Amino acid sequence: MPKGGTTMTKSSKPNGPLHGLKVVEMGQLIAGPFCGQLLGDMGAEVVKIEPPGKGDPMREWGQGDRPAWWRVIGRNKYSVAVDLRTDEGQQLARDLIGKADVLVENFRPGALEKWNLDPLALREANPGLIVARMSGYGQTGPYADRPGFGLIGEGFGGLRGIVGDPDRMPLRVGISIGDTLAATYGCMGVLAALHHRDKTGDGQVIDVALYESVLQVMESYVADYSTSGFMRTRTGAILPKIAPSNAYPCKDGEFLIGGNQDPIFRRLCDAMGREDLVRDPRFATHLARGEHQAELDEIVSDWTRTLTVAELEALLLAHSVPSGRIYTAADMVADPHYAARESIVTVDDPEMGPVKMQGTFPKFSATPGSIRKTAPQRVGEDTAAILERWLGRPA
């Protein structure tokens, strides 16, 4: 096995649990395309309708000298160039959707209707069609027409307000989590709708609001306010009242330790050579440690500063204390666990050469997902092949 992951070859590309499913993706940027990526990773044939010319802006997005984001979000997809502003393009889209099991889109509400692609009409022609619609505020409600990128949904859904230090402006978590959450809920909705269709033969429309996808993972944020008036705020790196559970400084970096449960805390104290802390009334129970969180973090930090990351890791593993390094991409591609589970794979891209990227998840025992096709290099490069295969039209 090559260092950093498996190289995908034809012999290592199984069909996946969604093999045979036909998906038309009409989204752009992140939410719609990531939903399409998830479905494609699980075996669906994903036809991406792009506007002629530059296509999806994701083709140019990313960081570094050679942005590679498109290689990830565009994998397992076929590019068909269609101008939805024309009657001919709209009819071609209807023809393709008529052969599809699923339509994924993340335009502002009303865009499909403007292009004569109303989901109700599409489902009249194709009753089994499942339409996953992703937007900032959903298809209904007084804010439905507002534009809504990921950061807006993260703010409206509550996430941005609790990320960062309390004395500073709210922070971004570092990835487009609002968009990818919406895409994941969109994918989940498609899978549930497929189960319903298997029983009834009927498709349906799935309305995914970006802010609601964020809200769904906000734990007891609203319930705490509802029952006691408690309002979560930004708390920085700590989980309030849960201690010790933080990133701690070492001689050569930082290290994560989660030692808050009573048995684990006793093992941590043993590793520290501080059995006295277990008997200290300030730290003897979970509730007491939460009340004296800052004091305990300072004690643990004073200890971790005397060790390197490697020394601390070995010591805490020996004492079965949940802990770990804060990984970078370089760490991931070199780690044997990533390699053993094929968490990172290498895809041979015609233009960029070998590209390492995340594999397909979750893992299925009988029908594993795979990367069967690299991202389309050119807008519309698969148009002729798809029209012939799906619609029987000669190239």
* Catalytic residue numbers, as ranges: 179
Handedness of CA 133, 134, 136, 138 (dihedral sign): positive
Q: Which residue, chain included where needed, has tokens 């969180």? A: 293
The answer to whether the beta carbons of residues 73 and 51 sit under 8 Å apart is no
Handedness of CA 9, 15, 17, 22 (dihedral sign): positive
Q: How far apart, in whole angstroms, are the C-alpha atoms of residue 89 and residue 85?
A: 7
Task: Tally Cβ neighbours within 10 Å of residue 10.
Answer: 6
Looking at residue 108, its amino acid is R
Residue 92 structure tokens: 């071609």
The answer to whether the beta carbons of residues 108 and 77 sit under 8 Å apart is no
The answer to whether the beta carbons of residues 1 and 358 sit under 8 Å apart is no
Q: Edge to edge, what strands does the sheet with 77-81 contain?
A: 77-81, 45-50, 22-25, 102-105, 130-135, 205-209
Q: How far apart, in whole angstroms, are the C-alpha atoms of residue 178 and residue 175?
A: 9
- Considering only the C-alpha atoms of the chain, give the largest distance between any 2 of them, rounded to a whole number of Å: 80
Task: Tally Cβ neighbours within 10 Å of residue 212.
Answer: 17
Residue 263 structure tokens: 């048995």
